[in-house]
Amino acid sequence: MHRANRIAAQLAPQARTSPALTEHKADQGSPLIQLHPAVAEALARGGPVVALESTIISHGMPYPQNVETAREVEAIVRHNGAVPATIAILNGAIRIGLADEELEQLGRAGLSAQKVSRRDIASCVAQKLVGATTVSATMLLAHMAGIRVFVTGGCGGVHRGDAMDVSADLTELGRTPVAVVCAGIKSILDIPRSLEYLETMGVSVLTVGSNEFPAFFSRASGVKAPRTVAAEGAARTIAGGLQVHHALDLAHGTLVAVPIPEADDFGKEIDSYVNAALVEADEKGVKGADITPFLLDKVNKLTAGRSLTANIALVKNNAEVGAGIAVELSKLENPNPGELPEPGAPNLFAYNRA
């Protein structure tokens, strides 16, 4: 088929089915990648699905607040018409969508769960460990499952003072075609250099409703947004771009930056807390994978818990925006819109694993 005709065919509405993920077997015949029945059914009929990471549950906040937040975020995704798919590694299998008791298991595991980036996936599964997926691992596994929209809190980036310390989140965005909806790059990082890196990797960076790129705890970073999408109708606009993105088989991802709600905006106040946390991290020699959780925990203590409250608020806000994008993308691609879930439906499918 001529390339132009193929692209036109791809742009036409069509149902999307999930890949045959259960063909590869682990010990005792169990599939390496297991889709929750709700997720599998939604993908099979081209319905909207939103991937969610699990490191925010295990490493982002204490129990039981972590599990409560995870449940609330999933509920927001459902309320806005999409199916949530929290991704984690449990009992030697990659789970795309968790049952409630599995959210509880992960939440109770806390810091004892392995923090899993792309490089750690195979070893974590082989050793049958409890693994919580980072942004990079969640992107990759969501893509393998056929999920195109992923919601998280903040994105990793280039660390301050060390231009060679680049988060795997950025490299994954350069090679995996998933839209990551977040509150910008974490304010503890070097935002200008991070955006330069994303530009080099050819990643589309969109900011919703602001000419400034957001800085996680702050609505503004002082850095001009590479591209701004008007807040009104943003979900439809972004979904339209993603539809073309996939039709053209573009291999990179899209970063959708959503400013933290105004009521939770720290503004410039956060800078003093971040700087103090960076000084202490340097004094204690904290580096590598330990630096981000250390800094976030220190900032939370310095703000007497307000940063954690803000973190929860921005994740919930991102979930609402991400679900809206997933729903609009599904409408563009699905020939049977009447079969899509209605916003506000509490539990569209049974949550008992097959």
User: CA 310, CA 303: separation in Å to the nearest integer?
Assistant: 11
Q: How many Cβ atoms sit within 10 Å of the Cβ of residue 314?
A: 25
User: Which amino acid, 44?
Assistant: A
In the block, which residue shows the tokens 């991070």? 194
Which of 102, 172, 186, 212 is catalytic? The answer is 186
Judge whether 232 counts as a catalytic residue: no
Q: Which of 118, 174, 175, 180 is nearest to 149 (CA)?
A: 180
Q: Is 301 a catalytic residue?
A: no
E strand intervals along 14-130: 33-35, 49-52, 83-90, 93-96, 114-116
User: Who's near 261: CB < 8 A, 6+ residues apart?
Assistant: 313, 314, 317
The residues, any chain, with a CB within 8 Å of residue 264's CB and separated by 6 or more, are 309, 310, 313, 314
Kindly give the interhelix angle for 306-333 and 291-302, rounded to the nearest 10 degrees: 120
CA distance 159 to 295: 11
DSSP assignment of 128-182 equals T--EEE-HHHHHHHHHHHT--EEE-S-B--EETT-TT-B-HHHHHHTT---EEEE
Catalytic residue (choose from 53, 74, 102, 172): 53
Residues marked active site are found at 53, 186
